[in-house]
């Protein structure tokens, strides 16, 4: 996947002169990029999901705000219905 994003990466990784420290740094940078992308994806979904579960654009009770994480747990009536619709 990263081969196309970082030209020459494969060759550099397989080169005998590449030290273990360099390999460790490269792996850490790739891992940091992956985690950052996942965080961006998750952050971008929060507001649309809140809008989607709100019945007819009404306020949810208790209120779920787009920019506050405190109340974004699984313990919310409308969200519980989506995660376990038979319960």
Where is average pLDDT lowest: 12-16, 29-33, 73-77, 80-84? 73-77
What is the pLDDT, as a whole number, of residue 13? 86
Over the stretch 36-68, which tens digit does the pLDDT of each residue have? Answer: 777 766 667 777 777 777 777 677 766 766 666
In a domain, 2, yes or no: no
Full residue range of the structural domain in which residue 39 is found: 9-83
Cβ(79)–Cβ(53) below 8 Å: yes
What average pLDDT score do residues 13-38 get? 88
Residue 83 confidence (pLDDT) above 60: yes
Looking at the domain assignment, is residue 1 inside a domain? no
Whole-number pLDDT of residue 72: 57
Q: Is residue 3 a part of any domain in this protein? A: no
Report yes or no: 13 and 26 within 8 Å, Cβ to Cβ: yes
Domain count of the fold of the chain = 1
21 falls in which pLDDT band (50, 70, 90)?
very high
């Amino acid at each position: 996947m990263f081969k196309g994003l970082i030209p020459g990466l494969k060759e550099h990784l397989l080169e005998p002169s590449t030290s273990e420290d360099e390999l460790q740094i490269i792996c850490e940078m790739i891992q940091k990029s992956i985690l950052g992308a996942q965080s961006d994806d998750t952050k971008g979904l929060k507001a649309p999901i809140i809008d989607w579960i709100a019945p007819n654009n009404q306020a949810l009770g208790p209120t779920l705000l787009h920019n506050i994480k405190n109340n974004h747990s699984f313990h919310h009536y409308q969200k519980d219905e989506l995660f376990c619709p038979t319960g």
